[in-house]
Amino acid sequence: MRFCTDGMLCVKQNGNWGFIDDKGNMTIPAKYDSCDSFKYGFGRIRSAGKWGIIDKAGKEIVEPKYENIVPAQNDLFIFYDKAWGIMDKPGKIIVQPTYYTITTFEKDRALARLGRSYTILKSPQAK
């Protein structure tokens, strides 16, 4: 078992990972190599060595094809593909993968590093 927020818990069953709800019901079948916590309504899943994103219904939002990907505020995802970038829920790349690091957004701001310099990124979805 792996603790998850948003009322979902990662569980291993027959060698694969899936999710149960807070009542113990299997809500997303155990079919992944690994999974990670739900945050902002989305969960990380790994298949064939790559990470993707699903929603609470188990619908694949971002195909597992990235070295790393994490949910962020406002239906954004911070992903790693040789460098860190940002995409929206439909999969449109909003910030090209050029950064060495990008933190998750807090109050619609994230810290990003490019070389030796840092910059503050404003969420493209901020109101």
DSSP state of 123: P
- For residue 58, give every residue at least 6 positions away whose Cβ sits within 8 Å of its Cβ, in sequence order, or none: 19, 27, 28, 29
Whether 51 has a pLDDT exceeding 60, the answer reads: yes
The answer to whether the predicted template modeling score (pTM) of the entire model surpasses 0.85 is: yes
pLDDT band at 127 (very low <50, low <70, confident <90, very high): low
**Length of the chain in terms of residues written:** 127
Once rounded to an integer, what is the mean pLDDT over residues 32-59? 93
Whether 49 has a pLDDT exceeding 80, the answer reads: yes
Q: Across the strands, what pairs with 120?
A: 111
Give domain limits for the chain. Answer: 1-66, 83-127
Cα-to-chain-centroid distance, residue 52: 7
Radius of gyration of the chain (CA): 15
Q: Which CATH architecture has domain 1-66?
A: Beta Barrel (2.40)
pLDDT band at 24 (very low <50, low <70, confident <90, very high): confident
Return the higher-pLDDT residue of 24 and 5.
Answer: 24
Whether 7 has a pLDDT exceeding 90, the answer reads: no
List the strands of the sheet with 93-99, edge to edge: 68-72, 76-80, 84-88, 93-99
Percent of the chain having pLDDT more than 90? 66
